[in-house]
Amino acid sequence: MTGQEIDPSVRQELMSLPKTLAEDVARNLVMVAQLLDEDPERAYAYSRVALRLASRVAAVREAAGFASYATERYAEALAEFRTTRRMTGTVDLWPVMADCERGLGRPERALEMAGAPEVHKLDKAGQVEMRLVAAGARQDLGQAEAAVVTLQSSELAANAIHPWTARLRYAYADALLAVGRESEAREWFAKAVEADHNGTTDASDRLAQLDGVAFVDAFDGEEEDDESVEKAAHDDVAVEVIDDGLTDEVLVDEDTDEDEDEDDSSDSAGTSVPSDAPEDADDAEDADDAEGADDADDADDADDAEDEDDAEDADDAKDADNADDAKDADDEEDGESSVPSSFLDSPFRAPEHPEREDD
């Protein structure tokens, strides 16, 4: 973007500035024109830069006025348009100045401007714009029938298509709908659709609304189906996890039961009584003494084994505690050493240029 894209008439006005300054102003004005519809706030920012650089150029004041108007800063817009009118002596901005009065909550003032002599100096497009503003002011005052009458004109009845035809027909259809004349409103919405080749109005949507047609976004339905499938899959996975948990629990119980049965069988085998008992009393006494001695030795061995097991368990517990403490210390050190950080990109700023005081 070099600034050469600007309108030749505006470039002619900028020739009164030094070359470098004129190029800077031209680039800012091009950005205002490009962003006015899609991003009015950024267009407003560029217009303020151009205004600081060349406030005595009428084209700059006009661009600043339209940027303020697009962002609903009606007081600023009205001031810029009045300044432009004084600098140029033209009445081309008269309709938009009247609409600023409406935006400031002064519809009566807008109606006064609609009847002023300046209106007769406007071209056909300007007169249609003035008629649209006057009809809007009537609606602001609650005079719906008067708004319908205001829009009735030769321009509305003409079959020829002009840049303002679609907007005029649309406004008339909307005024008819406000007074309950729905069938006529539908007819004029259809005529507005025929004239609206660039899609400047939503006449087609209003017409479909009157016909009872409802539009459904197919992408929304697909997203809902995807969410349902994903939810069902998630539920299936949850059920499988629960089933696996129950299966593992049953297997653990079975293993525990088998271990208990083996322990019982081993205990019963260790305490079994010999089948061949001694026949005489002496042999029985000797056998009892031997058995008592064996039992005592077994008890001593069991006690020693239990003591050894207790000592080993104590050592294992102590080692486990030491390991847990060491792990906790490592976790704390890791937590203290990891510090998240993030960096944000700088927000958009309108280009800044050194201000120049005009003579």
Could you give the residue ranges of the DSSP H alpha helices within 179-280?
182-195, 203-210, 218-270
Query: 59: Cβ–Cβ under 8 A, 6 or more apart, which residues?
Result: 9, 10, 13, 14, 29
Whether the pLDDT of residue 127 is over 90: the answer is yes
Least confident of 69-73, 74-78, 301-305: 301-305
Residue 280: predicted pLDDT = 44
Token pair in block for residue 202: 């939503």
The pLDDT-based confidence of 106 (bands split at 50, 70, 90) is: very high
For the residues 106-113, what does the mean pLDDT come to? 97
Note whether 42 and 72 are within 8 A (CB). no
Q: Is-contact 62 93, C-beta < 8 A?
A: yes
Tell me what pLDDT residue 52 has: 96
Any long-range contacts for 46-55 (C-beta under 8 Å, 24+ apart)?
Answer: 46/350, 46/351, 48/350, 49/350, 49/351, 49/352, 49/353, 50/25, 52/355, 53/21, 53/24, 53/25, 53/28, 53/353, 53/355, 53/356, 54/14, 54/17, 54/21, 54/25, 54/356, 54/358, 55/358
Contacting residues for 108 by C-beta, under 8 A, at least 6 apart: 137, 141
Q: What pLDDT is stored for residue 211 in this prediction?
A: 86
Structural domain boundaries of the chain?
1-88, 218-258
Residue 347 CA to residue 45 CA, distance in Å, equals 14
pLDDT, tens digit, 9 for 90 and up, residues 257-278: 555 555 544 444 444 433 444 3
Rounded to 10 degrees, the C-alpha dihedral 300/304/305/308 comes to: 170
The pLDDT tens digits of the residues spanning 237-258 come to: 444 544 555 445 444 454 555 5
Half-sphere exposure at residue 148, Cβ-oriented, CA atoms within 13 angstroms: 14
Q: What is the pLDDT of residues 205-247, one digit of tens each?
A: 999 999 887 655 555 555 555 666 566 555 554 445 445 554 4
Task: Measure the CA–CA gap between 220 and 49, rounded to whole angstroms.
Answer: 43
Please state which architecture CATH assigns to domain 1-88: Alpha Horseshoe (1.25)
CA dihedral 277, 282, 285, 288 (to 10 degrees): -40
Tell whether the model's pLDDT for residue 324 goes beyond 70.
no
Whole-number pLDDT of residue 222: 58
| pLDDT confidence of residue 234 | 57
* pLDDT value at residue 212: 83
Average pLDDT, the chain: 75
**Is this prediction's pTM over 0.75?**
no
Q: What is the pLDDT of residues 132-171, one digit of tens each?
A: 999 999 999 999 999 999 999 999 999 999 999 999 999 9
Q: How confident is the model at residue 184 (pLDDT cuts 50, 70, 90)?
A: very high
CB atoms < 10 A from the CB of 224, how many? 10
8 Å CB contact between 159 and 194: no
* pLDDT at 65 > cutoff 80: yes
- How much of the chain exceeds pLDDT 70, in percent? 58
